[in-house]
Amino acid sequence: MAEMKVFVINLDEQEKDTGCAWFTLPCNIEALKQSIGLPPDSDRYLISDYDFPFEILQDTDLDLLNNICLAISESEIPPEDIPAIQREWFS
């Protein structure tokens, strides 16, 4: 399966080039937040773009998204089954 990526913006640093970046999931969410200047306990981010086999919202929880990507990568879920999984996880 292709890499699953998100472009995350730190809402407190959005005017700076350092407050945003592309990340391939699954990854270390604390390291992701640190790299864009977001405190570990902050949820002030926005997913402004993504490369996924399903739709996600701009405010999707990064930990949830990371866990979904981990589950998909570990189980090698076929792409045709992802829409059903998406409905289950996001409903």
CATH of the domain at 80: 3.10.20.480
Number of H helices and E strands in the chain, helices first, is 3, 3
Per residue of the chain (91 residues), give pLDDT as tens.
Answer: 578 999 999 998 766 666 899 999 999 999 999 999 999 899 999 999 999 878 889 999 999 899 888 888 887 666 567 667 666 666 5
Helix (H, G, I), strand (E, B) or coil at 11: coil
Strands laid side by side in the 20-25 sheet: 20-25, 4-10, 45-51
Domain that holds residue 76: 4-90
Query: CB count, 10 Å around CB of 7?
Result: 14
Q: What is the Cα–Cα distance from 47 to 69, expressed in whole angstroms?
A: 15
Q: Report the chain's terminal Cα–Cα distance, integer Å.
A: 24
Q: Is this prediction's pTM over 0.85? A: no
Count of domains forming the chain: 1
